[in-house]
């Protein structure tokens, strides 16, 4: 219960995040933490945009693929690119999650998250193809369409 409360309170005072990590580490070291609770609260911790907390919780080894993907969605929604990068690099984020996040970011005009996904080496051709479908581009703002076309041009293979 104390672990659960410590995770939920992380977002309250951003300057106390380092202390929160220490509290979480202490509670975990005492064996007073149920693995199911850690897994259940992992996506919520990602919503607090604290890389140190998410890294520690992930290091416990109690985190399911589903929770990593949910945390990935939360981090992208909240524009926490450091967490998006960390969670992507765990190697368990699904292609479906990446696609959903990219399409959602395009829909809300979030070039920051879109650029992050490209820089991580996500399946760019697939993302561009899906996002540049005619029906979808009609709903996108001009700067997103321009961004996508620039990326598409950069990924085209030169012809001889």
DSSP secondary structure code for residue 95 in this structure: H
Answer yes or no: do 133 and 102 share one domain. Answer: yes
Question: Residues 85, 130: one domain?
Answer: no
Identify whether residues 84 and 100 lie together within a single domain: no
Mean pLDDT is lowest, of 13-17, 55-59, 82-86, 117-121, for 13-17
Q: Give the global pTM.
A: 0.79
Domain that holds residue 86: 1-93
Q: Are 50 and 10 in contact (CB under 8 A)?
A: yes
Using pLDDT thresholds of 50, 70 and 90, give the confidence band for residue 12. very low
Question: Model confidence at 63, in pLDDT bands (50, 70, 90)?
Answer: very high
Q: Are 58 and 104 part of one and the same domain? A: no
Same domain, 99 and 83: no
Residues 122, 77 share a domain: no
Domain match, 73 and 104 both: no
Considering its fold, how many domains does the chain have in total? 2
Measure the CA–CA gap between 95 and 17, rounded to whole angstroms: 31
Q: Same domain for 112 and 144? A: yes
Q: How far apart are CA 25 and CA 32, in angstroms?
A: 11
């Amino acid at each position: 219960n104390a672990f659960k409360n410590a995770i939920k309170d992380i977002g309250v005072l951003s300057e106390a995040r380092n202390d929160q990590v220490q509290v979480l580490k202490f509670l975990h070291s005492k064996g007073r933490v149920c693995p199911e609770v850690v897994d259940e609260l992992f996506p919520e911790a990602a919503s607090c945009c604290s890389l140190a907390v998410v890294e520690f919780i992930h290091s416990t080894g109690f985190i399911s693929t589903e929770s990593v993907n949910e945390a990935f969605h939360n981090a992208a929604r909240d524009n926490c690119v450091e967490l998006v990068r960390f969670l992507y690099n765990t190697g368990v984020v699904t292609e479906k999650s990446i696609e959903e996040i990219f399409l959602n970011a395009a829909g809300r005009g979030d070039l920051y998250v879109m650029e992050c996904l490209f820089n991580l080496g996500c399946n760019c051709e697939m993302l561009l193809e899906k996002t540049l479908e005619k029906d979808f581009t009609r709903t996108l703002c001009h700067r997103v369409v321009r961004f996508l076309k620039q990326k598409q041009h950069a990924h085209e293979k030169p012809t001889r």
